[in-house]
Structure 1
């Protein structure tokens, strides 16, 4: 524009029509310089001169940070906006479908497992000792072993899960009788010195056979009297564990012995070291049972959720309630975090980055300002001629 202005000034005397070009070039030059100044003033001081109301973005960084944080909070982090946006999404079904795929569940299992060794190594012996003394020991001291055992037995008896224990005990007794029949015979002979040895052997043999037959009957018949007596004994034991002071004192004594044993020679430290070594060795192996177990559990959970629309609906409702709670409780903290991060940026660096990102648009602003100014200059020149 400056070059065009110079040419029009030089040749206007010979070519009067260049007055129109001169008017365009003059106004275009002014428009170009004005827009250049305006754009530069947004980001820095023109020519480094601290002219008032320049370097607007760096000078107002704190206010911009506050405004940006408030804008995000009011327009993006409100519970209504976020929940309405997520309401139509079947998040539970999507996550379940993703987990069902073996490579995905394996990926999560490996990610979790890979982080465990570093976590385990971060705890030293002193920290383990403090954790044991401050957390485990107080819990052990308040533990009611008698009532805990009673609850465990109650759970077992409700589903008849204690019957396999009786079957196992009967089988063990049978094997012991068969393997130690000679010992039984010898003890019988010692107690009956005046009977013949063959008679003793016959009596013991029939005794063992009778006991084994009784055991077989008890195993085969769910309603056998022996089983009923066993059930009655278990119920009586449960009652005593719940109400008897003697059993409670025994449980407290066991707890004290356990604490004393763990404290002896830092046994808990040795136990922790063994657990840590085993876990790290398992996770570091190529075929880790822990990784396989976690991956299989995740895939199983995904399959169960995917096959049950009712569970998906409940999980989606829970998810939306959780999002609403998080937005209500932490929305302000998130916006405050945005404000703090923007305020921590270097003001000059921020200005340069923004200017670089929108540089082409800024250049078109300057070009458009040049032609708009030139057009206005031509119109003003035409208006001046009409008035004259």
Structure 2
């Protein structure tokens, strides 16, 4: 396009010269000469204007030429300000995002199992690297700063009492009592010989037959009692056990002695954890289990992550109230980020543009818009030529 515009300028100059030479013989060439003169002036003027944007014409340091290279710093600042004022204003950002239900769109995307699986695969693949980047000191610091202070103040006795109370409410402990009674019965039956031997050692002056008879009757009586307690939910022994359990719950929650014992036990556990180098053992076990799981074709971690993401997506997609809360949170985050980092992106744009080589920037811009600028030269040539013809016509009319 540059060559086409330049050739058109050359044609105007040649036409002007031809008309100037032969106008005396052919007066009508005055019209064509007017077209060529004005076209030549328009072409030269537009060529100068286009060249002056990017460089000095013919290398001459004419004032107000090479406009882009000379004003690179101002252009950079203007570009940064333009982005800041027209793209990063907090109200503008939140206004554009307000009409978009981002939470619903994300939830529907996650509800698709293939999408959730893709996210789960990416998370799972990053786990080994994340775990390998964690060293023993990091785990130890985490336990020392986060876990251990809470364990030191943890009331183990009160918590144990609370758990037992939950366990005892609604007679949830009764199946365990039944299993304990059945285990006691089996132990008595299986160890009657041991009971006889111990009874004989304690009773040296009675016949062995009598000892066996007494032990057999004793075992039979205990077994019968166990059957009674098992078959009767309201048996007095069962009620006594329930009463003792409730009393233990109260003691664990209120007794200072139990509280001190719980603190001592917790302190011993903490000391044992530290002395046993369990931070390293825990980290190695987690790394090994995660690596082994991810190497399998059907990874439990991937399946769990995929199921959780799908369930999360379906749950949010069907809950407009949650979507509203998430969108409000997202808009608040976007507003906060726009306020906090609004000035950094324009500053980055300004610094980057300022750091570019001025001549290289000029060449790149010219390469992008140069084709249209050459059309400006061509149009200037033709429009100038027509303007010349019109001016010649006006002069001809006035003179006549």
State TM-score, norm by structure 1.
0.83
Q: Report the alpha carbon displacement of residue 175 of structure 1 after superposing the two structures with TM.
A: 5.5
Partner Cα distance (2:168, 2:350) in 1 = 60
Contact 2:185 2:226 in 1 (8 A): no
Name the counterpart of 1:74: 85
What secondary structure, in the 3-state scheme, does the structure 2 residue paired with 1:286 have?
coil
140 and 122 in structure 1: CA distance in 2 versus 1, 3 angstrom threshold: closer
1:252 to 243, 247, 267: 267
Question: Is the Cα–Cα contact under 8 Å of residues 218 and 226 in structure 1 kept in the other structure?
Answer: no
Structure 1: distance between partners of 2:180 and 2:258: 31
Task: Spell out the pairing of 1:234-383 with structure 2 (5 A cutoff).
Answer: 234-240=249-255, 244-262=259-277, 267-383=278-394
Task: Tell which structure's C-alpha radius of gyration is larger.
Answer: 2
Residue 370 to residue 144, structure 1, CA distance change in 2 (3 Å) = same
Q: Give the alignment's Cα RMSD to 1 decimal.
A: 3.4
Q: What is the DSSP-based 3-state SS (H/G/I as helix, E as strand, rest coil) of the residue aligned with 2:154?
A: helix
Runs of 4+ in 1 over 6 A off after TM superposition: 161-165
1:105 touches 1:295 (CA, 8 Å); kept in 2? yes
| 8 A Cα contact 1:150 1:242, kept in partner | no
Q: How far, CA to CA, are the matches of 2:106 and 2:257 in structure 1? A: 45
Return closer, same or farther for 1:311/1:204 CA change in 2, 3 Å cut-off: same
> What residue ranges of structure 2 are gaps of 5+ in the alignment?
1-11
Q: Give matches, 1:123-138, under 5 Å.
A: 123=134, 128-138=135-145
1:47-58 equivalences in 2 (<5 Å): 47-58=58-69
Once the 2 structures are TM-superposed, how far is the Cα of residue 142 of structure 1 from its aligned partner? 2.0
Match of 1:33 among 35, 44, 57: 44
Question: 1 CA distance for matches of 2:339 and 2:24?
Answer: 75
How far apart, CA to CA, are the structure 2 residues paired with 1:151 and 1:59? Answer: 78
Decide whether the 8 Å contact of 1:167 with 1:219 is kept in 2.
no
Q: Distance in 2 between matches of 1:154 and 1:59?
A: 81
Aligned-residue offset at 1:224: 5.8
SS at match of 2:276: helix
C-alpha contact (below 8 Å) 1:217/1:224 kept by paired residues: no
CA contact (8 A) 2:103 2:326 kept: yes
2: CA distance between counterparts of 1:260 and 1:206?
50
Whole-angstrom distance in 1 between the partners of 2:234 and 2:15: 113
Partner of residue 180 from structure 1, selected from 167, 180, 187: 187
SS at match of 1:15: coil
Which residues of structure 1 form unaligned runs of 5+? none
Equivalents in 2 of 1:99, 1:370: separation in Å? 61
Cα distance, 1:243–1:185 mapped onto 2, change above 3 Å: closer
The worse-fitting range, judged by mean Cα deviation, of 67-76 and 183-192 is 183-192
Task: Quote the offset at 1:71 in angstroms.
Answer: 1.2
Query: TM-score w.r.t. structure 2 length?
Result: 0.81
1:146-161 superposed matches below 5 A: 147=154, 149=156, 153=160, 156=163, 160=167
The answer on whether the counterparts of 2:51 and 2:57 sit within 8 Å (CA) in structure 1 is yes
Partners of 1:30 and 1:373 within 8 A in 2: yes
Greater alpha carbon shift after TM alignment, 234-243 vs 362-371: 234-243
Quick one: which of 35, 52, 58 aligns to 1:24?
35
2:155–2:262 Cα contact (<8 Å) kept: no
Partner of 1:97: 108
Shift, 1:378, TM fit: 2.7
1:28/1:371 contact within 8 Å kept: yes
**Which residue of structure 2 aligns with residue 200 of structure 1?**
215
